């Protein structure tokens, strides 16, 4: 299974970015990935455009959100802002 970031969920389609190479983008029907939301990190087995298995990595998703928020807070609190 590979890890992906859910880039967007709209119009019944989910766009995934491969975590190890975010230039790789996969667009799938939302019905194949029920319950995913934008910015979720998932582990998924995808073969020939079909999701064979997937898991939302809740702890990893939360850790990334905390890290991003810390960076944003640091930028907001820089002198001159």
Q: Residue 78: its pLDDT value, please?
A: 79
pLDDT in tens, the chain (81 residues): 999 999 999 999 999 999 999 999 999 999 999 999 999 999 999 999 899 999 999 999 999 889 998 999 888 887 766
Q: Residue 81: its pLDDT value, please?
A: 60
Number of domains present in the structure of the chain: 1
Range of the structural domain that residue 11 is part of = 2-76
This prediction's pTM: 0.84
The 3-class SS string of the chain reads: CEEEEEEEEECCEEEEEECCCCCCEEEEEHHHCCCCCCCCEEEEEEECCEEEEEEECHHHHHHHHHHHHHHHHHHHCCCCC
CATH code for the domain in which residue 65 is found? 2.40.50
Specify if 81 maps to a domain: no
Specify if 66 maps to a domain: yes
């Amino acid at each position: 299974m590979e890890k992906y970031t859910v880039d967007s969920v709209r119009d019944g389609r989910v766009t995934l970015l491969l975590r190890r190479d975010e230039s790789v983008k996969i667009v799938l029907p939302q019905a194949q990935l029920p319950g995913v939301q934008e910015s979720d990190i998932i582990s998924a087995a995808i073969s020939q455009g079909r999701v064979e298995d997937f898991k939302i990595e809740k702890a990893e998703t939360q850790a990334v959100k905390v890290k991003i928020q810390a960076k944003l807070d640091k930028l907001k609190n820089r002198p001159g802002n």
